[in-house]
Amino acid sequence: MNILLFGPPGAGKGTQSAMLVEKMGMKHISTGDLFRSAIKGQTALGLEAQKFMDKGDLVPDSVVIGMVDEVVQGLSGQGFILDGFPRTVPQAEALDRMLEKYSLGVDRAMFLEVPEEQLIARLSGRRVCKGCGAVYHAVSHPPKVDGVCDSCGAEVIQRPDDQEDAVRNRLIVYKKSTEPVKAFYQQRNSLVEVDGTGAVGNVFGRLEAALAQ
Ligand code: AP5
């Protein structure tokens, strides 16, 4: 199964993608994770992306589209979940061309809906492991030992773009550039809106139910 999972920053895309991957075994393609890995490796792509990400701006379409094309090209038949792409209408149009080029389709375009005040609480409390990328929350899901990852023992930190100024900017950028993507898929009747509020397990249940339809 091929799924697009999008929604505002902090809606739970990464959290839910990890659960879907564990249950259904498809490949998880997160453009945010790909950029963070490139930044960690200090590659040219990472250095370019970091200039935009730290401020909460989008990385330019040409850079993102080229990166996703390479990954999609290498899928060789495995199902996928695209997390955080497309995030602009030109990216959605490019994805259409890409899928046609590789004879692939999308089964569901899933949109996770969460009100803004909850997004701010989720993002400002989010903590991530520097080693394995595990996601925590300072209040609702802290690691067992403060600052130490339960899974790999590496340091747990706050993402630079989860600082207050960057969060505010990400929400503005989201409204301007990513909300129109929702309308793009709505017009084709392929959008499935899922309530992303409540406990993580409840959101997952709603996603599973929507996928089963
Ligand atoms: P990316 O990493 O994709 O960031 P994002 O879209 O802003 O999404 P987040 O990772 O912040 O949130 P999420 O929805 O995955 O939520 P999570 O599960 O972590 O992108 C980062 C940057 O890269 C962008 O700003 C941009 O610069 C660049 N970029 C990436 N893709 C791009 C593209 N296509 N084009 C251009 N630039 C691009 O959950 C958040 C927190 O909430 C966690 O602490 C979690 O524990 C908690 N939580 C999750 N679910 C629940 C729940 N149900 N209840 C309570 N807490 C919950």
pLDDT computed for residue 189 by the predictor: 85
Task: Establish whether the linkage from the previous residue to 86 is cis, with ω within 30° of 0.
Answer: yes
Residuewise pLDDT in 10s, the chain (213 residues): 999 999 999 999 999 999 999 999 999 999 999 999 999 999 999 999 999 999 999 999 999 999 999 999 988 788 999 999 999 999 999 999 999 999 999 999 999 999 999 999 999 999 999 999 899 999 989 999 999 999 999 999 999 999 988 999 999 999 999 999 999 999 988 899 999 999 999 999 999 999 998
CA of 79 to the centre of ligand 1 (A): 22
Cα–Cα distance for residue pair 206/67, rounded to 1 Å: 31
Pocket test for ligand 1, best of 6, 59, 65, 88 (most atoms within 8 A of CB): 59
pLDDT computed for residue 11 by the predictor: 96
Report how far apart, in Å, the C-alpha atoms of 36 and of each of 23, 161, 205 are: 25, 11, 29
Cα–Cα distance for residue pair 153/56, rounded to 1 Å: 28
Q: Do β-strands 135-137 and 191-195 pair in parallel, antiparallel, or remain unpaired? A: unpaired
Q: Is 108 a catalytic residue?
A: no
pLDDT computed for residue 190 by the predictor: 87
Binding site membership of 52 for ligand 1 (Cβ less than 6 Å) = yes
pLDDT computed for residue 213 by the predictor: 85
Which of 10, 31, 22, 12 shows the shortest CA–CA distance to 82? 31
CA-nearest residue, atom 21 of ligand 1: 32
